Amino acid sequence: MPHDLQPDGKVHGVIFACRRDDGRWLMIRRSQHVAILPLKVCFPGGGVSANETKEAAVIREAREELGITITNLKPVWHHEFFDRPMILTGYFATMIPGVINPDPLEIAEVLWLSKPEALAHSDGLPTNASFLESLDGF
């Protein structure tokens, strides 16, 4: 599904990071059915709809893609792509304990990765590294 353009003429996206007590980060392998970057490993998230705040979008995406509720959102990262009109905002979030129920059309696999594992993952997106760096201290 194409993402809505925002008033600045760009697509805005959101991603989020939740950390377990053992220090591992919630990441996903994108489904083969998604149009952009299928089967890549990244943090969960998606596009911001027209007339939607980034915070509302990240909460909605967590519910839609993983069936989870997240709270305590803290914006920690911003990335503007220079090869396409897109801006990503990354949030640190707290996941309310419960069952993760991934949407198979969006997510092929749920992963809990340490920072070194995430950085070394052969299917990881290049933006994972700078987002992970912004999460130091959380």
| Arithmetic mean of pLDDT, 6-34 | 96
Handedness of CA 42, 44, 47, 48 (dihedral sign): negative
6 has a pLDDT exceeding 60: yes
The structure's pTM equals 0.95
Residue whose entry in the numeric block shows the structure tokens 């990881």: 124
1 has a pLDDT exceeding 60: no
Alpha helices in 1-138 (DSSP H): 54-66, 115-120, 127-134
- Nearest Cα neighbor of 63 from 30, 99, 39 is 99
Mean pLDDT, the chain, whole residue set:
95
* pLDDT score of 78: 97
Residue 48 in contact with residue 14, Cβ under 8 Å? Answer: yes
Taken in order of first residue, the domains within the chain and their CATH numbers are 11-134 (3.90.79.10)
